[in-house]
Amino acid sequence: MHDKVIVITGSSQGIGLGLAREFLRQECKVVVNSRREEKIEAIVNDLAKNDESKNVFGFAADVTDFNALSNLWKKAIENFGKVDIWINNAGINHATLPCQELSTEAIEQVIKTNVLGAIYGCNVAIAGMQKQGFGFIYNMEGMGSNGMVIEGQSIYSTSKAALTHYTKSIIKEQKSSTVKVGYIRPGMVMTDLLLKENISEYQDYERFKKITNILADQVETVAPYIVGEVLKNQKHGARINWLTTRKTLWRFLIAPFNNRDLFTEEKR
């Protein structure tokens, strides 16, 4: 797998950074991305410390800017010669509030980043991969992708539901193409995206905390599984699903006998 080149948008923190670290451990070449140049420089320096072959490259690009994403593709090709896997991971959340209490700026940024950013990413990657004759694209699903409605998360969950519908569409569009498309569903992961600044003020915080301790996992737990499945997958339309229905039911079954406290772990 050491010859694989992976591009991950929004990979300066959270699950994106976790995936980048794990792909590097699997001897892949990785292109990390963030909107801010200084953040990318710091992440690349950090990743390169543990990567003797220096197989990591970073490029700052706002996923809501099509030209910026086109440049991300070009830089990946300039550095590594190809792109085997492109992961549309970049995503942002909003405060846990009723929709009418969110600012128009917050609403626009979530929709632009989570939906438009993935669409632009797919368009760039599809064009490049059709030209090179191969490649996989994965879109990162999230809360709302399965149709679940969460109070206070209307815009974020809508963006993820829309992304899932869009992914289904391009899977059909690319069925006769050399480009393969799939989904990544990481489940609940303990990242800044999940643990928003105001979450402790949410009226159902205690219920949220209880459910999170049952279903959520640390990035370090989820990333190796996702990377392993992505690297061995050859199927168009595949869904890489960490938190399966069977696993969810089992966790609820053993919850009364389990003293998990992921919130305490996060503080350590």
Separation of alpha carbons 152 and 136, rounded Å: 34
CB 86 within 8 A of CB 180: no
**What tokens were used for 91?**
């995503």
The secondary structure of residue 257, as a DSSP letter, is G
CB atoms within 10 A of CB 63: 27
CB 13 within 8 A of CB 215: no
Side by side, which strands form the sheet with 239-241? 56-60, 29-34, 5-8, 85-88, 135-140, 179-185, 239-241
The secondary structure of residue 9, as a DSSP letter, is T
Contacts of residue 101, defined as CB under 8 A and 6 or more positions apart, other chains included, come to: none
CB 117 within 8 A of CB 94: no
Separation of alpha carbons 155 and 91, rounded Å: 12
From the candidates 138, 156, 183, 202, give the one annotated as an active-site residue.
156
Q: Does the annotation mark 156 as catalytic?
A: yes
Strand partners, 94: none
Residues annotated as catalytic (active site), given as ranges: 156
